[in-house]
Chains A and B, each alone.
Chain A
Amino acid sequence: MIEGILTDLAAVMTWFGDPVNWTGRDGIPNRLTEHIVMCLLSMVGALVVAVPIGLYIGHTGRFATVTVNIVNIGRAVPSYALMAVLYPLSIAFVVMGPGADIAFLATFLAMVLLAIPPIVTNTWAGIRGVDDDLREAARGMGMRGHEVLRGLEIPLALPVLLVGVRIATVQVIATATLGAVFGGGGLGRYIVQGFARQDDARLWAGAIMVAALAILAEVGFGWWIRRVDRHAIVTRR
């Protein structure tokens, strides 16, 4: 057993050391870049949609229950199933404009949808967590709605908001690998190829890189949140 693991470990090291795996379309630099770009784009897409929604329902209190319930149901949607649905739909869609990367599009959309729920709920919870007395003091000093949001609510909600972004980012990094099943790029390729070719070293290498990326994101966000959180009273996890 231990011998087997050591052999595997050696094989993975050899794989990482092989110059072939560092060049070309299937090389680590390219696949890693693809993976990161996919995650970044999805996160930007999700932030653009989710943060304004969360700020709106948090600041005004309007539509909050409805939105949070819808978003929570969204959490229940399995990403793999979502990609599977989006993939054929994307085919139908892309027929009109050939040349588009169908797998990329399906993965991107699925990842955006995966990332939206934690960001919306945490943005909302962060704003709601701001003490009503502070809001009242702010209004009493003559701050306008947007000034209260910018000057008080967003800074205090930031740690909780970032916790949501961290959860979303880690999930997206790990789940984006599924895109490879549909022919997409990224580190998932190594896993799909390793499985298909029964090349365990390749499989391990892919898994290790994805996990390392996710842990890096987790740790990085943890550091950032602690910095931001130093003077905020409310922190929810």
Chain B
Amino acid sequence: MTEPPATTPDPHPVDQPHVHGASVELRSVTKHYEAGERGPGAVNDLSMRVPAGRICVLVGPSGCGKTTTLKMVNRLIEPTSGRILVDDRDIASQDPIALRRGIGYVIQQVGLFPHQTIGQNVAIVPSLLGWETARRVARVDELLELVGLDPARYRDRYPSQLSGGERQRVGVARALAADPPLMLMDEPFGAVDPIVRERLQEELLRLQARMTRTILFVTHDIDEALRLGDLVAVFQAGGVLAQLDTPQAILAAPASEFVARFVGADRGLKRLSLTRVRDLEPSPVPTATVGEPAAAGHARLAVATPGIPAGWLLLVDAAQRPLGWVPSARIPTEGVLGATLAEPTGAILTPWMSLRDALSVMLDAEVVTGVVVDAEGLVQGALTIDRLADTLRA
């Protein structure tokens, strides 16, 4: 079952130079707990595959088996039946200790050793692997730098001297220490406040962009799942996989009533926040440059403009930057088009803006059409509120 890289359809092709990840595959994995045995939730005949270098978020209500699934991958929990393959190798035949040392592991409570300094904590796995001191020290500094903590300031502190967010960063650095191709993260940001959580999520995406690896991420927060996941696996009670797909696909077409309810009634809005302006083709818009003859303006308005309201001309400057809209009634019958004719528009949409933000900008400006500009601010076209609504219906 090796993955033919060229043919696998992929939501976000990874174009980073060094993909450093391990694929994870579960085949009919089942975990039942014996009477009296305590565990985080059963798993029932679970099959799924996460391609190398992707973030796959396991999400679902508590007791749905997502944590059990995660812990079966580093063999903290052994499955009752089924097979798990990491990089196409069955983990059941591997030494669990060696397996775990090759997989990064981050938990909600972080689990920093309180009697060891930050530096010592980050160096735990390298020490277990017998790295020499110089290499360990260098690696600790490199990692602290990577997660945004000044090594000189933090290296010799103790965990009790750090804030929750800082500790969580150290936890990530510790999991990255031996450069594992696979990371398991069990609600890593569950215990920090929303503002810090958002920043940590952003940093995780930034890290992932710099050095791609496979990440299995457990959360019960659907927004976090949609935000971080290349793939989202929605679990339902009893350890059943309800749907595994890209966030867009899950929002667009929930596989079941359960998934639809779990992603929430506002999934339309959620989809808007997942799609960006650059993902839509802007409608062509009739434009005229300041100083052009008024007749030219009339001529352009005579042509039908599908996708945007008729009777409006967009006035731009010589560099093609938008100045504002001119209604056909205000276009003089002769002379040239002056800059003063334009009614300035507040609805300027940038390519990286999410559709949700675009909608908000348009509603604030009390217009139905937004002007799309590129990174330099040059007009690309326009989007109407109707177009946004259409993408939701698609």
B-side contacts of A152, CB under 8 Å? 113
A136 in the interface (beta carbon within 8 A) = yes
Give the secondary structure class of A's interface: helix
A-side contacts of B109, CB under 8 Å? 131, 133, 137
**Are the C-beta atoms of A232 and B114 separated by less than 8 Å?**
yes
**Complex Cα gap A131–B100 (Å):** 20
**Are the C-beta atoms of A137 and B107 separated by less than 8 Å?**
yes
* A34 → chain B closest CB, angstroms: 38
Known: A137-B105, A231-B158, A233-B160. A143 touches B111 (CB 8 A): no
* B114 → chain A closest CB, angstroms: 5
Task: Select A140's contact among B74, B113, B158, beta carbons within 8 Å.
Answer: B74
**Are the C-beta atoms of B101 and A141 separated by less than 8 Å?**
yes
Q: A123-134 CB contact bits vs B (8 Å, 1 = yes)? A: 000000001011
How many residues belonging to B are interface residues under a CB distance threshold of 8 Å?
25
B228 in the interface (beta carbon within 8 A) = no
A165 in the interface (beta carbon within 8 A) = no
B124 in the interface (beta carbon within 8 A) = yes
A155 in the interface (beta carbon within 8 A) = yes
Q: B24-59 CB contact bits vs A (8 Å, 1 = yes)? A: 000000000000000000000000000000000000
**Are the C-beta atoms of A136 and B111 separated by less than 8 Å?**
yes
Known: A136-B76, A231-B160, A232-B115. A141 touches B125 (CB 8 A): yes
**Are the C-beta atoms of B107 and A140 separated by less than 8 Å?**
yes
**Are the C-beta atoms of A138 and B115 separated by less than 8 Å?**
no
**Are the C-beta atoms of A231 and B97 separated by less than 8 Å?**
no
**Complex Cα gap A151–B127 (Å):** 11
**Are the C-beta atoms of B100 and A139 separated by less than 8 Å?**
yes
Give the secondary structure class of B's interface: mixed
**Are the C-beta atoms of B115 and A142 separated by less than 8 Å?**
no
**CB contact list, A181-237 vs B, under 8 A:** 231-233
B138 in the interface (beta carbon within 8 A) = no
* A157 → chain B closest CB, angstroms: 10
**Complex Cα gap A147–B113 (Å):** 13
B-side contacts of A131, CB under 8 Å? 109, 111
Q: A141-157 CB contact bits vs B (8 Å, 1 = yes)? A: 11110010001100110
Q: Which residue of B lies closest to A143 (CB)?
A: B128
**Are the C-beta atoms of A140 and B76 separated by less than 8 Å?**
yes
**Which of B97, B114, B115, B124 counts the most chain A CB atoms within 10 A?**
B115
A-side contacts of B112, CB under 8 Å? 137
B-side contacts of A138, CB under 8 Å? 111, 113
A-side contacts of B99, CB under 8 Å? 142
**Complex Cα gap A141–B110 (Å):** 12
**Which of A138, A142, A143, A232 counts the most chain B CB atoms within 10 A?**
A142
B98 in the interface (beta carbon within 8 A) = yes
* A36 → chain B closest CB, angstroms: 32
Known: A136-B76, A231-B160. A142 touches B111 (CB 8 A): no
**Are the C-beta atoms of B115 and A141 separated by less than 8 Å?**
no
Known: A133-B109, A231-B160. A139 touches B114 (CB 8 A): no
**Are the C-beta atoms of B115 and A155 separated by less than 8 Å?**
yes
**Are the C-beta atoms of B114 and A142 separated by less than 8 Å?**
no
Q: A56-91 CB contact bits vs B (8 Å, 1 = yes)? A: 000000000000000000000000000000000000
* B127 → chain A closest CB, angstroms: 9
A-side contacts of B128, CB under 8 Å? 141-143, 147
**Which of B97, B101, B125 counts the most chain A CB atoms within 10 A?**
B97
**Complex Cα gap A107–B110 (Å):** 50
A-side contacts of B74, CB under 8 Å? 140
Known: A142-B97, A143-B128. A137 touches B160 (CB 8 A): no
Q: Which residue of B lies closest to A158 (CB)?
A: B115
B-side contacts of A232, CB under 8 Å? 114-115
**Are the C-beta atoms of A141 and B100 separated by less than 8 Å?**
yes
* B73 → chain A closest CB, angstroms: 10
* B223 → chain A closest CB, angstroms: 25
**Are the C-beta atoms of B76 and A139 separated by less than 8 Å?**
yes
* A62 → chain B closest CB, angstroms: 16
**CB contact list, B107-149 vs A, under 8 A:** 107, 109-115, 124-125, 128
Q: Which residue of A lies closest to B124 (CB)?
A: A141
**Are the C-beta atoms of B107 and A133 separated by less than 8 Å?**
yes
**Complex Cα gap A143–B100 (Å):** 8
Nearest 3 Cβ contacts at the A-B interface: A137-B111, A142-B100, A142-B101
Besides A134-B113, A140-B107, A142-B102, 6 new A-B residue pairs in contact (Cβ under 8 A), listed by A number: A137-B107, A140-B76, A142-B100, A142-B128, A143-B128, A231-B114
A-B contact pairs, 6 of them (CB 8 A): A133-B107, A133-B111, A136-B111, A141-B105, A142-B97, A142-B125
